[in-house]
Structure 1
Amino acid sequence: MIPVQPLTGNARQSSSPVIESRALRAVCGSFPTGVTVITSGGERTGAATTVNSFTSVSLEPPLVLFCLHRGSRLRGALEDSGSFVVNFLTHRQEQVAWRFAGRESARLSEVPHHRTPNGLPVLSEALAFLECRVADEYDGGDHTIVLGEVVGLGTSAEEIDPLVFYRGGMRVLGATGPEPVDI
């Protein structure tokens, strides 16, 4: 267990403490996230990487973002194509997530996929996908924040549980839980 300072009545302090990356990772790991694989590139230049730093930004215009490590193998394919696909993984795709998570990862050609009409790779067994063109990029420390405009999308006809990342591990979101609430 990594020691973490508990919050007090006033969370804001006058001087900024040095935050250790291990402690930050441990605390952020307490927030469950969906697991996605970002794909990009053409037939011969296709690449993929697993990310859990994905979020929807705006419905009008339709914008999403993800964070990409500056040294990611996806960087070249993304720069060449100027577009990407966010593949939402199912609980059956845990091995796919791990295969694209490491520095030495699988090749896109080793995973079942098909192409969008614009030629981008989509993982064939994904729960859903968003096809995006890069709208902008922002500095995010050792990552680049990639903002994308959604230009295409799709979902699986089958209702399948998603893959979730929580406290350093892949998990399945249980199908038995509270009923969804319309907001």
Structure 2
Amino acid sequence: MDEKAKKQALLMIPYGLYVLGAKHGDKQTVATVNWATQTAFNPPLVVVGIKKDSTSHDLVKQSKKFTMSMLGAGQKAIAMAFFKHVDPQDGKFGAYAYEAGANGAPIISEAPASVECEVVGFYELGDHSTVIGQVTEAHVKRDSEVLTLAECGFKYGG
């Protein structure tokens, strides 16, 4: 395969930025993710790629649940805050408040929308696991365009 062509072609797939929340027992975390999309209407399913060597990967695998906080246009600072693990303290991850979803996993309070999911598929096929979640709850605080990799000037793929 032509590696340069593969990388260029895969980088043409547009991505939003989301904050994945996970909790198992008394441990919880949030992480910025971008490989995510809806995959079915009925039942409502989303798929997300989660880096295997991350805290969020371990917690989602153990708890079989997660949240995705959809970041809105202009919320690059929130995305930047969670590229590395941050421990919660005083109701915040770093500078950002969160609330627990009905499934117990954290949702970023400033996010314009979020979904809560139950894991229905977990595939460890590459350096990121492919996780399929059935949407069990959805929340919308306001309408917004999604924050994208392009808006942030990031490239992650290939």
Q: Please say whether Structure 1 and Structure 2 have the same fold, judged by a TM-score greater than 0.5.
A: yes
SS for the counterpart of 2:110 is coil
* 169 and 24 in structure 1: CA distance in 2 versus 1, 3 angstrom threshold: farther
Pick from 110, 116, 126 the counterpart of residue 141 of structure 1: 126
Residues 19 and 30 in structure 2, CA contact (< 8 A), matched pair in contact too: yes
Residues 18 and 34 in structure 2, CA contact (< 8 A), matched pair in contact too: yes
SS for the counterpart of 1:125 is coil
Residues 30 and 166 in structure 1, CA contact (< 8 A), matched pair in contact too: no
1:35 aligns with 2:35: no
Match of 1:162 in 2: 146
Aligned residues: 149
Larger deviation: 41-50 or 132-141?
41-50
Q: Deviations over 1:67-90 (max 9, x none)?
A: 111111212221332100011101
Match of 2:109 in 1: 124
**CA separation in 1, counterparts of 2:2 and 2:13?**
21
Residues 88 and 126 in structure 1, CA contact (< 8 A), matched pair in contact too: yes
Larger deviation: 39-48 or 50-59?
39-48
1:106 aligns with 2:86: yes
TM-score, normalised with respect to structure 2: 0.82
SS for the counterpart of 1:140 is coil
Residues 55 and 85 in structure 2, CA contact (< 8 A), matched pair in contact too: no
Root mean square deviation, CA, Å:
2.3
TM-score, normalised with respect to structure 1: 0.71
Indicate the structure (1 or 2) with the bigger Cα radius of gyration: 1
Larger deviation: 70-79 or 82-91?
70-79
Report runs of 4+ in structure 1 exceeding 6 Å deviation.
none
Residues 41 and 81 in structure 1, CA contact (< 8 A), matched pair in contact too: yes
Residues 65 and 145 in structure 1, CA contact (< 8 A), matched pair in contact too: yes
Residues 29 and 86 in structure 2, CA contact (< 8 A), matched pair in contact too: no
Match of 1:175 in 2: none
Residues 98 and 109 in structure 2, CA contact (< 8 A), matched pair in contact too: yes
**CA separation in 2, counterparts of 1:113 and 1:55?**
23
- Partner AA of 2:136 in structure 1: V
**CA separation in 2, counterparts of 1:43 and 1:114?**
16
Going by fraction, where is strand more abundant, 1 or 2? 2
Residues 117 and 135 in structure 2, CA contact (< 8 A), matched pair in contact too: yes
- Partner AA of 1:164 in structure 2: T
| Pairwise CA distance, 1:96 | 1.4
| Structure 2: gaps (5+ residues) | none
